A and B are shown apart, each in its own frame.
Chain A
């Protein structure tokens, strides 16, 4: 048996090694450099909590946090009810059920960045197909600037919703299938109609699963930035800049509206702060939903 233990360590080693070197070490690296002024070259200067006081004064960062809130709320308020309704419908016996499921789930399998390009082709105000169609059928009199300051956030939220509905529909469906059939049969015997079954069986039984799914949805929606990065690069005038995108630009000043200089120390501090914000929001949701559970 001793021999077996040695084998086990040998088998776990590749996974452990990779996780420690490329997963944990970068975290520790960031934990160290958040206290330094470091721009990727030269000697890092220790500045203690200097980066964090800078965050408190950083209007751009806080406006990106606000944008993240708008983006996440807009996405969740449409996605979650929609996917729950679809899941409830598709959970019943229906002709073509599996085909519809496959269609609704399809958008979730593609890369966010590639789909952002597809949506750029659609929403592009200069020659996008959407404006062409709207003008052709006289639904609007002048082309709408979908990627301009007024509509850019709406456009990014539409894309987020499009890519997420299928995912949560599937998770809700899995939850619905976990509800024992006896309950529905009992309800039928007691003379409950479809709506009463929904209200007294489905929703209460789905409670705990729903809590988990919503929690997952919140964290994912706060972290998403790929499609925004490709579609608008946070523009125009920072209107669609979410916090993880702002962070990316600090570390890798690239195309679009660049920050100019790489700021690794400050970026690490911002990264730590964003993680705290995501964790905090998740925790608050968890507390509130627990309270609601106790009430009902």
Chain B
């Protein structure tokens, strides 16, 4: 510490420049830390097993696709992927139908029990007793004879549509009621107004709610895990992938885990690159509701 430093003052410009640099270093460090696992798994899935376990590299030395082939054919990931697609697509469609129908009725008609219904939907969002509900749900599916199919998982996922319901009901305010009345005068009834007027106008909201339902069901782990305990051929991607962790020789199957994890995150990643705004809408819509 010499005396001359004390007389040295920052010029305002230098101060601003230093502040900016510090800010950007911080922002980019956070970005790097958050991206690291995702980049690592995307690149790592192309490495040989040997490079994965002792290479200490991030960028693959040699690009090979054998991990994917091995996971797809040998480790049953083709089946997991098909199951995941089935569950997510049917759940999304089912959720949108159920939630949009009830939101339409609640928003447009005054009927007895409306307040109670809204309260019920809100309560399902907040009350959670964890995995306990899975047992009676499973018993119900056994009664219906659906416990050996993926329809059981789909129906239970659709039954949890409160989030989508609140996203949709928020959007309904923006559709003028005069439109319904005009359509009624033109000879539409309650059903055709819903089908021809309301649903087309709701498209942006349906996209957000649908994305929410798709993301939720694609990522769901606990429910399919419980339902597929005795039916391994029904496992979805997250379940099949997590099983590798506790399988025999988990440490030796790193390359399978890498490829499997990639298969599980790629669909969402691709959609996200094109529509990250919609993903953010999902979070905000759910909270606002």
Contacts and interface: CB of A to CB of B under 8 A. Distances in A.
Interface centre among A121, A126, A170 (most CB of B within 10 A): A121
B102 A15 contact: yes
Interface in A104-137: 104-122, 124, 126-127, 129, 132-133, 135-136
Contact of A274 (B121, B124, B130, B244): B130
B287 A26 contact: no
A132 B52 CA distance: 10
B68 interface: no
Q: Interface range on chain A: under 10, 10 to 19, 20 to 34, or 35 or more? A: 35 or more
Given A109-B215, A117-B244, A247-B132, A15 B221 contact: no
Nearest to A129: B40
A89 interface: yes
B64 interface: no
A117 B133 contact: no
Interface in B64-101: 97-99, 101
Contacts of B162: 19
Contacts of A14: 97-98, 101-102
B102 A100 contact: no
Interface in A232-248: 233, 244, 247-248
A167 interface: yes
Contacts of A268: 129, 132
B219 A110 contact: yes
Contacts of A165: 30, 34
A30 B261 CA distance: 35
Contacts of A21: 140, 159
B284 A230 contact: no
Q: Interface range on chain B: under 10, 10 to 19, 20 to 34, or 35 or more? A: 35 or more
Interface in A80-102: 82, 86, 89, 100-102
Contacts of A26: 132-137
A113 B40 contact: no
A30 B98 contact: no
B241 interface: yes
A280 interface: no
Interface stretch (A41-49, A185-193, A199-207, A250-258): A250-258
Contact of A230 (B111, B158, B245, B283): B245
B226 interface: yes
Nearest to B279: A109
Contacts of A23: 124, 133, 159-160
A261 interface: no
B182 interface: no
B206 interface: no
B54 A127 contact: yes
A272 interface: yes
Contacts of A16: 102, 117, 120
Interface in B225-264: 225-226, 229, 237-239, 241-246, 251, 254, 257-258, 260-261, 264
B161 A15 contact: yes
Interface in A167-217: 167, 170-171, 174, 216
B272 A127 contact: no
A15 B98 contact: yes
A210 to B, nearest CB: 13
25 contacts: A4-B109, A7-B191, A8-B109, A16-B102, A21-B159, A26-B135, A27-B133, A82-B30, A86-B27, A104-B34, A107-B38, A111-B238, A113-B241, A113-B242, A114-B241, A114-B261, A121-B258, A127-B52, A132-B54, A132-B56, A174-B287, A226-B222, A247-B130, A248-B222, A275-B127
